[in-house]
Structure formats: structure tokens, C-alpha cells
Amino acid sequence: MHSLSQLRSGELAGIRQLKLAEQLTSFPLEILSLSSSLEILDLSNNNLSELPDELVQLTKLKVIFVSQNKFDHLPKVLGKLPNLEMIGFKSNQIKTVAEESLPAQLRWLILTDNIIETLPNSLGDRPRLQKLALAGNQLTELPQTLAQAHNLELVRISANRLTECPEQLLNLPKLAWFAFAGNPFSTIDNKTANRALNSVPEVSSACYTLENVLGQGASGIISKAHWNTPQSQFPSDIAVKVFKGEVTSDGYPQDELQACLQVGFHANLVQSIAQVNETDTLALIMNLIPPHYKNLGLPPCFKSCTRDTFPEGFSLPIVLINKIVEQMENVFTHLHNNYVCHGDLYAHNTLFDPENGDIIFGDFGAATSYQMLTTTQQQHIKKIEHRALNHFIDDLLNICAEEDKNHTLFQQLEQRLEPNT
């Protein structure tokens, strides 16, 4: 985090990345003095509602975050920035997105949690577009031009007002991560919903006490917890995921809970044992994962955009990779046998035992039940997620130990990948 006083004193001259959060109500024109170097600008958590036309002076700018501000429109000046690739205007009050506001080099657009009703046709005319996050808006349709967004790989359209499945997305050749719950077209019937919700008992939030935080994501915080009184029907070691507000970057927490319960039990999935469904608390109680399980991967970065990253120097032997892949393929089959698209099939959502390669897969924040779709649409959804599975395999092969790359198992896994992975 930087300060306005640092900027004004000239202390920040030549920096590539600037982050300011000081309840700003107007854009500090001193930022323009960084035009020869600035590539990433983060003005999130302020009170801005406009960007000046002078922003075009930031010709090297590639990334701009202006989340948690007061914009009611996506500024047109953004479309004039020649190198701008990533735009993040999450949690504003944006209602309109003009044709001119989308830069030619757009690769990553985040407009989650606004009040957008329509999007311009120019969105489909951005050939580099890879990642599109639109959850939590008021969209009733998507531009038909998205059918030509052939590089689009990740889409979040949950928690909108779409009455029909957007067919223009289903045949996209690279789409691999797709979340669409919480729309009229993806509403499941009460019988299916009740069957899932009744699969585990409800308990009171007063039954347990939260301890240390184990992890957190877009939809909630997972903590270790203990029962306040002995519970004979449940294991003593538990974790509790307390869901956040009404809408997240992936959709509604209630849809995540529904999908998580709908898939039922599988040895390689985080096991849900109870739920809390109170006015002010929505939570899922799960078996506590043993501490020796580690994250298999790290989330994508600016450069990789949609693909996982891994720690420097991290590698795995091909025997472990093969075992991990076999387990994930079984998980994939189990999910889709239960008509659930996970939407976030990634190594960074996978925990593994470094000793034996056993995995536990979780994080259903982007998951969607899809049995309400037509048979043809269901086949498309499964094909989309199978592409994510192939990327998962490809990412693991890329961290395979060098001495194992001529191994028969390595060659067999390579041959199973689709040509466009």
C-alpha cells in the first residue's frame, strides 16, 4: 500500500505498481507523473465515481482495479488505453457499460456485484478476452457476439436474471471454467433441492465454537472448530465454513451449499456432515482435513490469467501425478453423475498428501446443478468441464520431475489430452 503523500513528494517515481486507498473522492492527477512506468493501478476501496480523460496519458497501463467505489458506469476513457488488458470494477453501482469503454487489448474483465442490465456487442469483438466475471448483476441476456470470443476460457454469470441458457457460450472452443447458478434458467425443482438439503442434518451455530482460520475464499471463511458439548453422531474434529454476504464473485452462497450437498459422498471430496441455516448464519460443517495435506497448486496470476501456478522449483514424480489424475477423473465422473458442474476444477482447489498422492477436492463456490438443462446442453456443460480436467492434467505434467518425462505414464497422460489443451 502506498500513500498520497509519497506520491506527491516524488518518492514513488518510476514504480510499476501503485495502490492507493485513502477514501479518495477524486482521481489524484499526480498519478499521471508515473506515465513512463506505471503498469498496475489499484484504486480499490475509495469513493471515486469518475476517471479523468487525462488517464490516456498512462500509455503503459495494463491493469486497473477500482473495486469498492461509487461508479455508476464503466468509464469510456478505459477504451482509449492502448495496452490495458485487465479491468476490475467489482462492487460499485455500475448500471451502464458503453461500447467505447472496452479497450482493444482486453483480456480480463471483472464487473462482479453491480447492477448491469445489458452489455455492449463490442464485448464479443475483443479477440484476446479470456476471463469474464459478471456474477451478481441484473443481466437478462448476453451479447450474441460472445459466440466469436474464441479465446474465452473462464466465465462467471451466476446470480443474474438470465431466463435462457446462453447457447452462444456452449460451443466456445476454449471455455473450461463456467459458473451459472442463481439464474432463472438454472433453477432446480424443489424436490431435488430438498433432497440435497435434507442429506445432512441442521444444527445450531451455538453448538460449536470457531477456532483458528484454516483458509478463506470468495464465498466464505473456513475455521477449525470444536463442539461445545459431545456429539455422538459427528466426528470430534471438525471444520466450519461460514459463508459471506448475499453474493460473491462466484454467485450465491445458497447455491454453493446446494451443489456441495447434491454431490453426496466421495472419498476424494471434502465431506459435509451438517449445515447451519439461520437468519444471520449460513454454514457448512465438514470433516477436518489432516494437517499433513498440502495445497497442490496456487491460483492463477496476472500473466497466466486462467491457468494455475506453482511454487518455484516444485515438482512431483510421475507415479504421484498419475495417482492424482486417476482420483480427479473419478471425482469428475462422480460430480457429473450427480449433475453438478464444479466450475473451478483447479489444482489450487485440491489438497494432497505429499507422501502417497491421496487428494481431497473442494471449494464449490462456482458449482452449478445442471439437471434442468436439455440433454444437448448437459453434454456441452460436461465437455466444458472436461476441458478444465485436461488443463489440470497438463499443469501437473508441466511440474513433472525432469527424470520422469520419458516415463511410459507421462506419455500415456500426454496422449489423453485434447489437441487444444
Q: Which residues are annotated as a binding site?
A: 241
Alpha helix (H) ranges present in 151-252? 167-170, 190-197
Contact in structure between 166 and 143 (CB atoms under 8 Å): no
CA 39/CA 138 separation, integer angstroms: 32
Q: DSSP string spanning 236-269?
A: SSEEEEEE-SS--SS--HHHHHHHHHHT---TTB
- Is the pLDDT higher at 317 or at 363? 317
Nearest by Cα to 115 from 134, 132, 88 = 134
Q: Which residues are annotated as a binding site for ATP?
A: 241
CA 103/CA 79 separation, integer angstroms: 4
Contact in structure between 301 and 309 (CB atoms under 8 Å): yes
Lowest mean pLDDT among 309-318, 330-339, 411-420: 411-420
The H or E element that residue 213 is part of is strand 208-216
* Domains delineated in the chain: 4-186 (3.80.10.10), 190-287 (3.30.200.20), 294-416 (1.10.510.10)
Torsion angles phi and psi, residue 343, rounded to 5: 80, -10
**What single-letter DSSP state applies at residue 46?**
S
Report percent pLDDT > 70 for the chain. 99
Dump pLDDT digits (tens) for 353-404. 999 999 999 989 999 999 999 999 999 999 999 999 999 999 999 999 999 9
Looking at the predicted structure, is the pLDDT value of residue 179 above 80?
A: yes
4: its cell numbers:
498520497
Dump pLDDT digits (tens) for 203-221. 999 999 999 999 887 788 9
Contact in structure between 269 and 361 (CB atoms under 8 Å): yes
pLDDT for 421 equals 44
Dump pLDDT digits (tens) for 119-165. 999 999 999 999 999 999 999 999 999 999 999 999 999 999 999 99
Looking at the predicted structure, is the pLDDT value of residue 172 above 70?
A: yes
Dump pLDDT digits (tens) for 57-66. 999 999 999 9
Dump pLDDT digits (tens) for 219-256. 889 999 999 998 888 999 999 999 987 787 788 888 99
pLDDT for 418 equals 60
Is beta strand 350-352 parallel, antiparallel or unpaired with respect to 294-295? antiparallel
Alpha helix (H) ranges present in 121-186? 167-170
